[in-house]
Amino acid sequence: MSRFKIGDTVLLDGRQAKVVWFSENANEIEAIDEYIVEFDDKHRQFVTSSTLRQELQSVHNREQNSDPCCSQTH
């Protein structure tokens, strides 16, 4: 299963980009997914999964880490 899907926002060399194409390569000895990402300026680049990082969304992370039943004390 690929790490990223079409439409995911990722980081490449400190710049945000969106995944516009991917290919899973599960039959290889070491599975390597291939992607084409598009930057805001419409420039596209071919990359492999090892060069991408998921763009963290702070609001999404706070929702995952919060539990209204339990409060954390620091």
Q: State residue 24's pLDDT score.
A: 84
Tens digits of per-residue pLDDT, 7-64? Answer: 999 988 889 999 999 998 777 677 788 999 999 999 999 998 888 777 654 334 444 4
Q: Which of 70 and 19 is assigned the larger pLDDT?
A: 19
Residue numbers of the domain that contains 31: 9-57
- pTM for this predicted structure: 0.65
Q: How many domains does the chain have?
A: 1
CA distance 46 to 51: 10
Give domain status of residue 72, yes or no: no
DSSP 45: E
Tokens 């492999």 correspond to: 48
Question: Please, what is the Cα angle at 61 between 60 and 66, to 5 degrees?
Answer: 105
Domain for residue 65, yes or no?
no
Strands 44-48 and 53-54 turn out to be unpaired
Considering the domain boundaries, does residue 20 fall inside one? yes
